[in-house]
């Protein structure tokens, strides 16, 4: 069998099946450079497996947990040894047989062979370094290589890889550089390819831009050379298993308790909501929080580019757009999805991100009995959000007079919630505004609450508060009343004034 090596032989290639001529299976490095074979002449230790002299290495499962806790420094010498051992391993093992094993057994196999190679090559390493090497090599062969320890960490929001030698992560709202690096751009490209092939896509020079999703739901974007000048660039928005709830947002001070109550009324009373904000400001998180107020009996249809939302309701249909295939056909746009939604008897339509002409269809849906629909969009203020909707419709080729478009916007959107990532890295809901109507040709909005910055503490953390703006009866009061929520709304508005 694959893992059986004769105890007397120190030469691993004698005991594992010979490498087939066929190319490596998808789960392996296709870019293994020419291989320095384990030197046959190397003095062999009396027993090939160093297990005897070393304390029992932790099980692969344990090792995995260990590596996930921290990212260790690795020296140049370590990288050189790793390349050497890795090449020897690739030359030794039968990749097609390895692919047949489950992850745990495959890891066990690789560990055994790597330990033999280390022993044969007389590599001098501490036990800790050897463990790191084993873990790295297992990750390279079976997983996403140097990415693995980052993927295993739950505190990272984004992973940004700009070519083989530069990796940044976002932790607690702040971007920091890590010591993670790839062997070369070839290895990085190979990992990108491996990721996108999981969802049936391809990334190479002829189609250098690709969106994908990891098995855990993390959103992935790859842009490869020649478009990315300094090497393959991979951006991952890490999927949070435990999505933030509105309660968490209150705990993090992203919204005040009274502000959260107002959002609850807005969500439950089926206001049509746009969530606006910059990149990574927390729009999708907020949308997900608002969907928690949807009643279990409602039929909800979500349309996203890469499914990120996690609705808890029982009656949800999730739709995803599709890029064109290699021949350039088969593309399904957000507009196609939103249009199709209307034929699916939705109670509410949720659009992950409104970016183009689908804005028109979403507004129409909001206008025609699908109230309580929601979407996010990139904009820096509520006013900018509304004008972006207008330009999306104009650019979508709808030859409607400007006033008609504005009337449509005013008639459809009730509330714009603005999210922002502030300079101290914290994410806040900076305003909740309602769309009041048209005055002349101008859309009038009114803030119900606003986050105001009062100063900064000694650690650079911003100090501020969510304050009411003195609006006693927002425009959605009647809606709240219809849903029997006017008492809750009145109390929340009072509390908001008191909090401020």
CB-based contact 101:109 (threshold 8 Å) = yes
What, of Mg ion, ligand ATP, none, does residue 282 touch, CB below 5 to 8 Å by kind? Answer: ligand ATP
Q: Nearest residue to ligand ATP, using CB?
A: 282
Radius of gyration of the chain (CA): 28
Candidates 25-33, 90-98, 275-283, 327-335 — which segment interacts with ligand ATP by CB under 6 A? Answer: 275-283
Using DSSP, state whether 419 is helix, strand or coil: strand
CB-based contact 389:368 (threshold 8 Å) = no
**One residue of 28, 92, 254, 256 binding ligand ATP per CB under 6 A:** 254
Least CB distance to Mg ion at residue 249 (A)? 15
**One residue of 74, 237, 450, 479 binding ligand ATP per CB under 6 A:** 237
**One residue of 92, 284, 418, 431 binding ligand ATP per CB under 6 A:** 284
Say how many CA atoms lie within 13 Å of 297 toward its Cβ.
1
Strand pairing of 174-178 and 167-171?
antiparallel
Residue closer to ligand ATP (CB basis): 272 or 281: 281
Provide the β-strand partners of residue 209: 223
**One residue of 216, 252, 324, 391 binding ligand ATP per CB under 6 A:** 252
Candidates 95-103, 112-120, 279-287, 441-449 — which segment interacts with Mg ion by CB under 5 A? Answer: 279-287
**Which tokens hold the place of 292?**
């928690």
Give the contact letters, 416-445, x = binds to ligand ATP (CB under 6 A), - = no: -----------x------------------
Strand pairing of 300-304 and 348-351?
parallel
- DSSP secondary structure of 197-231: HTTT---SSSS-EEEEE-TT--EEEEE-TTTSTTS
- Main-chain dihedrals φ then ψ at residue 427, nearest 5 degrees: -105, 130
Tokens 């994410």, located at residue? 427
Residue closer to ligand ATP (CB basis): 225 or 280: 280
Q: Edge-to-edge strand order for the sheet containing 209-213?
A: 174-178, 167-171, 156-162, 233-237, 219-223, 209-213
> How many whole angstroms separate alpha carbon 218 and alpha carbon 332?
21
**One residue of 244, 453, 471, 490 binding ligand ATP per CB under 6 A:** 244
**One residue of 178, 276, 284, 302 binding Mg ion per CB under 5 A:** 284
**One residue of 106, 134, 141, 157 binding ligand ATP per CB under 6 A:** 157
> Does residue 217 belong to the site contacting ligand ATP (CB under 6 A)?
no
> Does residue 139 belong to the site contacting Mg ion (CB under 5 A)?
no
> How many whole angstroms separate alpha carbon 25 and alpha carbon 20?
11
Least CB distance to ligand ATP at residue 376 (A)? 6
> Does residue 302 belong to the site contacting Mg ion (CB under 5 A)?
no
What, of ligand ATP, Mg ion, none, does residue 240 touch, CB below 5 to 8 Å by kind? Answer: ligand ATP
Residue closer to ligand ATP (CB basis): 247 or 491: 247
Give how far Cα 274 sits from Cα of 344, 346, 436, Å: 22, 18, 14
> How many whole angstroms separate alpha carbon 409 and alpha carbon 424?
34
> Does residue 264 belong to the site contacting ligand ATP (CB under 6 A)?
no
> Does residue 277 belong to the site contacting ligand ATP (CB under 6 A)?
yes
**Which tokens hold the place of 74?**
């690795």
- Main-chain dihedrals φ then ψ at residue 452, nearest 5 degrees: -115, 130
> Does residue 281 belong to the site contacting Mg ion (CB under 5 A)?
no
Candidates 143-151, 207-215, 249-257, 321-329 — which segment interacts with ligand ATP by CB under 6 A? Answer: 249-257
Residue closer to Mg ion (CB basis): 259 or 282: 282
> Does residue 152 belong to the site contacting ligand ATP (CB under 6 A)?
no
> Does residue 280 belong to the site contacting ligand ATP (CB under 6 A)?
yes
What, of Mg ion, ligand ATP, none, does residue 279 touch, CB below 5 to 8 Å by kind? Answer: ligand ATP
Count the site residues for Mg ion by CB under 5 A. Answer: 2
Query: 3-state DSSP: the chain helix, strand, coil percent, rounded to 5?
Result: 40, 20, 40
Candidates 178-186, 254-262, 276-284, 316-324 — which segment interacts with Mg ion by CB under 5 A? Answer: 276-284
Using DSSP, state whether 76 is helix, strand or coil: helix
Burial class of residue 484 (count of CB atoms within 10 Å of its CB; 0-12, 13-18, 19+) = exposed
Residues at the interface with Mg ion (CB under 5 A):
283-284
Residues at the interface with ligand ATP (CB under 6 A):
157, 237, 240, 244, 249, 252, 254, 277, 279-285, 427
């Amino acid at each position: 069998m694959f893992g059986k090596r004769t105890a007397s032989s120190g030469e691993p290639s004698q005991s594992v099946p010979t490498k087939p001529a066929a190319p490596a299976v998808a789960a392996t490095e296709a870019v293994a450079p020419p291989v320095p074979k384990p030197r046959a002449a190397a003095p062999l230790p009396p027993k090939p497996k160093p297990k005897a002299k070393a304390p029992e290495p932790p099980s692969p499962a344990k090792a995995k947990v260990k590596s996930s806790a921290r990212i260790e420094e690795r020296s140049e010498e370590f990288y050189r040894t790793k390349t050497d051992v890795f090449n020897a391993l690739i030359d030794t093992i039968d990749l097609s047989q390895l692919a047949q094993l489950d992850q745990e057994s495959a890891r066990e196999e690789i560990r055994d062979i790597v330990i033999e190679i280390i022993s044969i090559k007389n590599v001098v390493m501490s036990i800790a370094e050897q463990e790191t090497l084993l873990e790295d090599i297992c990750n390279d062969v079976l997983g996403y290589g140097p990415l693995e320890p980052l993927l295993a960490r739950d505190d990272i929001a984004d992973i940004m890889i700009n070519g083989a030698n530069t990796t940044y992560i976002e932790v607690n709202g702040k971007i920091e550089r890590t010591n993670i690096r790839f062997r070369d751009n070839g290895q990085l490209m190979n990992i990108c390819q491996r990721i996108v092939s999981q969802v049936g896509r391809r990334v190479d020079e002829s189609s250098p831009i690709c969106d994908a999703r990891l098995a855990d739901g993390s959103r992935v974007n790859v842009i490869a050379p020649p478009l990315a000048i300094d090497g393959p660039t991979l951006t991952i928005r890490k999927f949070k298993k435990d999505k933030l709830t509105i309660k968490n947002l209150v705990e993090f001070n992203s919204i005040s308790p009274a502000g959260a109550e107002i959002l609850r009324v807005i969500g439950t009373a089926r206001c049509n909501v746009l969530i606006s904000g910059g990149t990574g400001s927390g729009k999708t998180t907020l949308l997900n929080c608002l969907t928690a107020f949807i009643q279990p009996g409602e039929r909800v249809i979500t349309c996203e580019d890469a499914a990120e939302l996690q609705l808890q309701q029982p009656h949800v249909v999730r739709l995803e757009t599709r890029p064109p295939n290699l021949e350039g056909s088969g593309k399904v746009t957000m507009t196609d999805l939103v249009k199709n939604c209307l034929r699916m008897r939705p109670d509410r339509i949720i659009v992950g991100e409104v970016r183009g002409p689908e804005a028109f269809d979403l507004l129409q849906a909001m206008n025609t009995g699908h109230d309580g629909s929601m979407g996010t969009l990139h904009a820096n203020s509520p006013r900018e959000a509304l004008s972006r909707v207008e330009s999306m419709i104009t650019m979508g080729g709808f030859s409607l007079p400007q006033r008609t478009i504005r009337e449509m916007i005013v008639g459809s959107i009730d509330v714009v919630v603005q999210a922002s990532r502030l300079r101290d890295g914290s994410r806040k809901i900076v305003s909740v505004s309602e769309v009041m109507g048209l005055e002349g040709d101008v859309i009038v909005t009114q803030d119900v609450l606003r986050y105001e910055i009062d100063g900064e503490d000694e650690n650079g953390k911003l100090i501020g508060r969510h304050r009411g703006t003195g609006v006693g009866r927002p425009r959605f009061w009647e809606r709240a009343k219809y849903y029997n929520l006017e008492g809750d709304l009145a109390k929340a508005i009072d509390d908001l004034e008191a909090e401020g």
